[in-house]
């Protein structure tokens, strides 16, 4: 994990990951840890020795449902980043929109509950309940993490790329 391959042709990519999250949730900080030379918004990278295509976008405003289909086309996995000290209704709203996409339902979903180092961060159980995660079918992992303490990120990516 962590090394970036710049000579990887798109044909070599067998896995395509989409990272999304609200402004300030910690996407850039997480990417700095998993792929330090990543150029936003898309790049081929190497994750756990898999050649991957990673796209990262922030969520802001109202997207038309076509945008979600475009975001999710051919993805192997969705990385949904949230700030675990600051979960409002819009987080659930966006998660629901992604979960409704057929391509997402077929893929692995890694929810990175970032900033778990903060005192006011919700616990894993609280987040699970708040987002009603038991209502989602499929392969889903809620992983608490922090880019400050570095906990949880490696574990989440390992599960996602495994
Ligand atoms: N306490 C704490 N702060 C964090 C953590 N991860 C990121 N931050 C801080 O949160 C702020 C936003 O982090 P970014 O990585 O820029 O967030 P982003 O999702 O890329 O934000 P946008 O690019 O605006 O969409 C920065 O001040 C980071 O230092 C974390 O795990 N713990
Ligand atoms: Mg950013």
pLDDT single digits (tens) 42-84: 888 877 777 778 888 777 666 666 777 888 888 999 999 999 9
Mean pLDDT calculated for residue range 27-47? 85
CA 28 to ligand 2 center in whole angstroms: 4
For the structural domain made of 10-161, what CATH number should be given?
3.40.50.300
How confident is the prediction for the chain on average, in pLDDT?
86
Point out the ligand 1 atom lying closest to the alpha carbon of residue 25: 19
CA atoms within 13 A on the CB side of 2: 4
Residues pairing with 54 in the sheet: 17, 43
pLDDT digits 0-9 by tens, 98-113: 999 999 999 999 999 9
Ligand 1 binding pocket includes 86 (Cβ within 6 Å): no
Ligand nearest the Cα atom of residue 29:
1
Interaxial angle between packed helices 27-34 and 153-161, expressed in degrees from 0 to 180 and rounded to the nearest 10: 70
**Burial class for 97, CB neighbours closer than 10 Å (0-12, 13-18, 19+):** middle
Query: Residue ranges per domain, the chain?
Result: 10-161
At 9, is the pLDDT very low, low, confident or very high (cuts 50, 70, 90)?
Answer: very low
pLDDT of residue 3: 30
What is the 3-class SS of the chain, one letter each residue? CCCCCCCCCHHHCCEEEEEEEECCCCHHHHHHHHCCCCCCCEEEEEECCEEEEEEEEEECCCCCHHHHHHHHCCCCEEEEEEECCCCCHHHHHHHHHHHCCHHHHCCEEEEEEECCCCCCCCCHHHHHHHCCHHHCCCCEEEEECCCCCCCCHHHHHHHHHC
CA 82 to ligand 1 center in whole angstroms: 10
pLDDT of residue 13: 67
Is the pLDDT at 1 greater than 50? The verdict is: no
* Percentage of residues of the chain with pLDDT beyond 70: 88
């Amino acid at each position: 994990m962590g090394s970036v391959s710049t000579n990887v042709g798109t044909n070599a990519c067998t896995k395509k990951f989409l990272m999304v999250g609200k402004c300030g949730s910690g996407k850039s900080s997480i990417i700095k840890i998993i792929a330090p030379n990543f150029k936003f918004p898309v790049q081929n990278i190497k994750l756990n020795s898999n050649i991957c295509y990673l796209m990262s976008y922030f969520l802001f405003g109202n997207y038309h449902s076509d945008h979600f289909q475009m975001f999710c086309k051919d993805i192997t996995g969705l990385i949904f980043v949230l700030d675990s000290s600051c979960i409002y209704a819009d987080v659930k709203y966006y998660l629901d929109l992604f979960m409704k996409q057929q391509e997402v339902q077929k893929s692995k979903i890694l929810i990175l509950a970032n900033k778990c180092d903060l005192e006011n961060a919700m616990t894993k159980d609280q987040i699970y309940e708040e987002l009603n995660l038991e209502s989602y079918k499929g392969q889903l992992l809620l992983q608490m993490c922090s880019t400050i303490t570095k906990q949880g990120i490696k574990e989440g990516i390992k599960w996602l790329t495994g």
